[in-house]
Amino acid sequence: MGKLLFRLALLVGKCVYGIIKILPGISGTTWPGGFACMIKKDFVSCFTFKPDTKIVMVTGTSGKTTTTGMLAQLIKSDGKTICTNAVGANMGRGVATALIRSSKLNGYVDVDYVVLEVDERYIPLVSKQIKPDIILVTNVLKDQSQRNGEPGVIMNKIKNAITPDVHLILNRDEPNCASFGLREGDEPTGGASYYGVAGEAAEAINDNKFTVASSCPVCSRAIKYEYENLLNIGKFKCTACELKSPDEATVVAADKEKNTINVGDESFKVKYISTDFLYCYASMIAFARHEGISHDSIQKSIKEFKIQSGRVEKMTAGGKTINYLRIKQETPVTLQSAINVTSSDKKEKIIVLDLCEVVDFIPNYTGVYYSYDCDFGKIVNDSVVRYICMSETVCYDEAIRLVLEGVSPDNITIMPTRNYDELLKELMKYDCNNVYLLTWMHSYYDCLNSVKKFGK
Amino acid sequence: MKINIVWLYPDILNLHGDRGNAMSIVKIVESMDMEANLIKVNTADELPDLSNVDLIIMGAGQLRDIRYVTDDIRNYEQRLKDYIENDGHILVTGSTGCIFGKRYYLDDGSANDGLRIIDMQARALNRTKMPMLTKEVYGDDIYWKTEDGMEIIGCQIQRMDFTLGKAATPLGTLIYGYGNNCKGNAEGARYKNLMFTNTVGPLLASNPWFGVYIIKDILKAKGVSLDDYNDDKLNYMSIARNSFNAKKEFIKNKKKLEGIITEN
């Protein structure tokens, strides 16, 4: 009966997938899996694979999508077959949809690799249904507190997915992630390999009386960093216990002038050289080394890999260039990355901050406290002609954040609005044509629409 | 004049941007033409003589770190209790408040003794659903008032339910939000000048009048009056008032879940 129900669910899923493919403008990346899982709750567990198919799960706070994409490209460039889930479809239904797409009608998935991006909150459930051979964890950071509570909650969820025989590929520069390698309990046969990025001394976080460290996931004491490449990500050592960035790791060093990355004796030409990408490259190369994939395949995959759009975009309106830097609400590492990119531009600029109210769930709320986890000192300098804080409600809290970092209130325009037409009008008051907009994805599209209207 | 502020466990208890409280209180003290001496203390052996300390601040921490902090405090427990009994001021936010109660229960089910200063128990919310909120949601706005009627708006990321015993006094009354446990309108707890609130993050940044109140209270105990202090000397006070009004409107208009505490 169970088998019949699975076949029915799979058939329904494949029909829905077929319909979506031919209907224009329909996204529905998880509909096939959604319908199938409604028919059979443990749908994913019923798929079968070749004996040597490797199941790889990529999880973590940030970088999952790019890392999964890079791994998928690597495997294809190496001439292997793959099943992988679409961008953003990283929960149960997305996983189910990927398998529906790749399987035969009897549920047999004939591929060399299954590479799945899995939301960190769902990985215990997904891994019970489809057992991973490799789990790659990008990082476990402060993220969406309204939903996740605290990083420790997510760490426990990921730990629940790790069995002794799973091979772990871990970010050696992120303490929570690195600590997964210290597996307690049963003798871990799966082992662990690590990756990281060489230090960029210039990226040290401003150390003042308000600077704080982070707590060790093993002993709760303070973590100290030799250098921080991203917020709370860098070569580290706990001040009290043995937890530290392991010495044996695939470490990437960037040569920004030549647009290459060096890993030991190997060198690769790359298209994207920002720090976030360096970590994705490092994780991909660590995976390649574990799987015995050649230098040529790695280089080929780097050449062929294309990023998804929307994280860094440029728009032009009235002679002004608006550099959009995407942040994820309640995720300070993304805001800090946006701040770092902004500060690396030494030209005169206007900075627009739109952190927005958090509207993912009912209840909507006004949480912008995560901005205090970031070092705004990097953008408090004479190159900033004007700061503009916008959003309907939290624009004032954004302004307070800047004032507490040392910006004079006289240098801040507060706009209690979500209307980007008004922002463009405000920007036209200034001679400076270089604008940085730090906001989340939905505001980017609002801005884009206003820019298009402005052009007309 | 110098105001000595001990910032306890800043490297450990900084879950929700809590360093904003340190930044704000320093700014508030400086706006009163005084010097703020901020002393970071991450272990017991770094603790200064508390008889010279005017204010202690403790931010919210992860539940995995609470036990370590409690154990470290045991090294100077009596000194801390004496400080509190002598009307020393402490502001504690978020889950960290459980340390000052009688007992707290963590995610792993373990029962841990607190410092037994407040008649209060705390229990980890060991589930992804909070009652009367959508699944997997821990956070919301919180709007409450002190017994003197001072209104505070901030955020709450609730990882523990707090239950006050008969001998305990709440810090304030909920106008909107989850508060201690969503079963009544009690928000936080107060014992002498030990103030615990569920409002996390930089509550003093968005509500500097609360910081002004605390500092004025400290000065009053020193025999210094600041009756002529003009709040607008703080260069972001008017922005904070606008923030408060905007958030009040936001809370009034937003869709509320059944069962959440609202005054009206």
Distances (CA, A) of A279 to A70, A195, A307: 11, 8, 14
The predicted-structure confidence for B221-250, as pLDDT tens digits, reads as follows 999 988 788 999 999 999 999 999 999 999
Q: Are residues A375 and A391 in the same domain?
A: yes
**What pLDDT does residue A121 have?**
87
> Residue A445 and residue B150: Cα distance in Å, rounded?
40
Mean of per-residue pLDDT scores for chain B? 92
- Determine the residue of chain B that is closest to A371 in CA distance: B17
CB contact under 8 A, B205 and A397: yes
**What pLDDT does residue A202 have?**
47
- The count of domains in chain A is 2
Partner residue facing B159 (CB), from A150, A209, A369: A150
Q: Are residues A347 and A447 in the same domain?
A: yes
CB contact under 8 A, B14 and A217: no
Q: Are residues A273 and A400 in the same domain?
A: no
**What pLDDT does residue A88 have?**
65
**What pLDDT does residue A424 have?**
96
Please indicate, yes or no, if residue A10 is contained in any of the structural domains: no
Rg (CA), chain B: 18
Shortest alpha-carbon distance between residue A345 and chain B (Å): 26
DSSP state of A205: P
Please indicate, yes or no, if residue A18 is contained in any of the structural domains: no
What are the residues whose beta carbons fall under 8 Å from the beta carbon of A324, sequence distance 6 or more?
A312, A313, A314, A315, A437, A439, A444, A447
**Quick one: B256 exposed, middle or buried, by C-beta within 10 A (0-12, 13-18, 19+)?**
middle
Domains and CATH numbers, chain B: 2-262 (3.40.50.880)
Distance of CA B158 to the CA centre of its chain: 13
**What pLDDT does residue A201 have?**
56
Q: Are residues A248 and A131 in the same domain?
A: yes
The predicted-structure confidence for B60-70, as pLDDT tens digits, reads as follows 999 999 999 99
**What pLDDT does residue B210 have?**
98
The answer, yes or no, to whether residue B127 has pLDDT greater than 60, is: no
CA nearest A397: which of A361, A353, A435?
A353
Q: Are residues A56 and A73 in the same domain?
A: yes
The predicted-structure confidence for B204-221, as pLDDT tens digits, reads as follows 999 999 999 999 999 999
Q: A212 contacts in B (CB within 8 Å)?
A: 10-11, 14, 19
> Residue B262 and residue B251: Cα distance in Å, rounded?
10
**What pLDDT does residue B264 have?**
57
Asked if residue A167 lies in contact with residue A134, where contact means CB atoms within 8 angstroms, the answer is yes
What are the residues whose beta carbons fall under 8 Å from the beta carbon of A258, sequence distance 6 or more?
none
Full-model pTM: 0.92
Residue type, A345: D
CATH number at residue A349: 3.90.190.20
Note whether B97 contacts A: Cβ–Cβ < 8 A: no
Q: Are residues A350 and A204 in the same domain?
A: no
CATH number at residue A231: 3.40.1190.10
Q: Are residues A298 and A320 in the same domain?
A: no
> Residue B158 and residue A150: Cα distance in Å, rounded?
10
**What pLDDT does residue A206 have?**
58
> Residue B216 and residue B222: Cα distance in Å, rounded?
10
Please indicate, yes or no, if residue A40 is contained in any of the structural domains: no
> Residue B31 and residue A407: Cα distance in Å, rounded?
15
Q: How large is the greatest C-alpha to C-alpha distance in chain A, in angstroms? A: 72
Q: Are residues A206 and A336 in the same domain?
A: no
Note whether A416 contacts B: Cβ–Cβ < 8 A: yes
Q: Are residues A170 and A275 in the same domain?
A: yes
Note whether A397 contacts B: Cβ–Cβ < 8 A: yes
The predicted-structure confidence for B87-101, as pLDDT tens digits, reads as follows 999 999 999 999 999
Q: Are residues A284 and A378 in the same domain?
A: no
> Residue A220 and residue A232: Cα distance in Å, rounded?
15
The answer, yes or no, to whether residue B10 has pLDDT greater than 90, is: yes
Categorize the per-residue pLDDT at B131 as very low, low, confident or very high, splitting at 50, 70 and 90.
very low
Q: B16 contacts in A (CB within 8 Å)?
A: 145, 369-370
φ and ψ at B59, to 5 degrees? -85, 180
Rg (CA), chain A: 23
**What pLDDT does residue A350 have?**
98
Partner residue facing B239 (CB), from A213, A222, A396: A396
Where does a domain end: A276, A304, A332?
Answer: A304
Interface subset of A 181-240, CB within 8 angstroms of B: 209-210, 212-215, 217, 219-223
DSSP codes, A277-305: HHHHHHHHHHHHHHHT--HHHHHHHHHH-
Categorize the per-residue pLDDT at B130 as very low, low, confident or very high, splitting at 50, 70 and 90.
very low
**What pLDDT does residue A86 have?**
66
CB contact under 8 A, A213 and B11: yes
Asked if residue A303 lies in contact with residue A436, where contact means CB atoms within 8 angstroms, the answer is no
Read off the pLDDT of each residue in B94-119 and give the average, rounded to a whole number. 95
Q: For helices A2-22 and A92-102, what crossing angle results, to 10°?
A: 90
Q: Are residues A377 and A300 in the same domain?
A: no
> Residue A372 and residue B21: Cα distance in Å, rounded?
10
Below-70 pLDDT ranges, chain A: 25-28, 86-88, 185-186, 200-206, 308-310
Q: B200 contacts in A (CB within 8 Å)?
A: 369
> Domain range spanning residue A388?
312-455
The answer, yes or no, to whether residue B128 has pLDDT greater than 70, is: no
Structure tokens at A91: 């929960």
> Residue B84 and residue B101: Cα distance in Å, rounded?
14
